[in-house]
Amino acid sequence: MNKIKVVFMGTPVFAVPILEGLIENCNVIGVVTQPDKETGRNKELTYSPIKKIALEHDIKVLQPLRVRKEYEDIINLNPDIIITCAYGQIIPKVLLETPRLGCVNVHASLLPKLRGGAPIHRAIIDGYEKTGITIMYMDEHMDTGDIISKEEISITVDMTTGDLHDTLSIMGKELLLETLPSIIDGTNNRTKQNEEEVTIARLLNREDEHINFNQSTIDVNNQVRGLSPYPGSYTILKNKVMKVYNSKIGTLNKKGTPGTIIDISKEGFEICTKDGTIFITDIKIEGKKRMIVKDYLNGVNKEDVIGNILE
């Protein structure tokens, strides 16, 4: 595989192991990533994780603002194959038709389930029992191309998006490297996606982060885990935003007004849901540092907290 000329298109840290695996095994002649972003109060330009890796290996970096219009420099690299992972823009048809081996995407779900931009978060939030990695040929639409290979993983009840993200990132690297030889020699299988099984992993918004205690305990737990560690879920305690990073299932079939704190102990805030209770264990209250509830207890009178209804 080391003679194959690869252009890699990706942006976030999830794609880093995949790029590193390609660098070790192929001839990566170019990397395409999103433009640098201004961050912090001083608005310093920040490189994407993928750009940092490319520069460390002296690989040419291209950062088109709109790849649909700015693709000539990519074509001029004359790649044998384009491989993408969480790049962040739709690839135009003219670019899809450029490499002789096609354009291949590494997607963090078992397609056609969870097409879209937030498949890892949504897998946990929506209560999926399993997810995985799909290697697929790209077409003009989002995550609709023919499937080449898949690998699945079970989602455990205590797994957060952070845990799943890291596991799938390594899995994506390994499955891609296992699949590439069959793509190169033309022996790979192509399977059409079943449109009747499609689900969508839409991008997160602020309202998705607001904990809804009118859900079941399991759904609240899924919401908290599915948003941890980033962007984090939140609720309102005594007019202050309380970010929540971890939770565990409390007592099922327990009656109470959803959102009411009925106890606070070393186990966490015990809060009523639609059908029971849940413990919130890891928090960050507005103006304070992140802490486990056991440490929060050192600075409060718990009787001032019990009975509050979280908004």
Over residues 248-306, the pLDDT tens digits come to 999 887 788 999 999 999 889 999 999 999 999 999 999 999 999 888 888 788 888 88
- CATH number assigned to the domain covering 206-304: 3.10.25.10
Cα-based angle 76, 51, 65 (whole degrees, multiple of 5): 60
Q: Which of 1-10, 145-154, 212-221 has the weakest average pLDDT?
A: 1-10
Dihedral of the CA atoms 168, 170, 173, 176 (nearest 10)? -50
pLDDT in tens, 225-259: 999 999 999 999 999 999 999 999 998 877 889 99
Taking 90 as the threshold, does the pLDDT of residue 48 lie above it? Answer: yes
Q: Which two tokens stand for residue 10?
A: 């990706």
Is 149 in contact with 178 (CB distance < 8 Å)? Answer: yes
Out of 1.10.150.120, 3.40.50.300, 3.90.45.10, 3.40.50.170, which CATH number does the structure's domain 5-197 have? 3.40.50.170
pTM of the model: 0.93
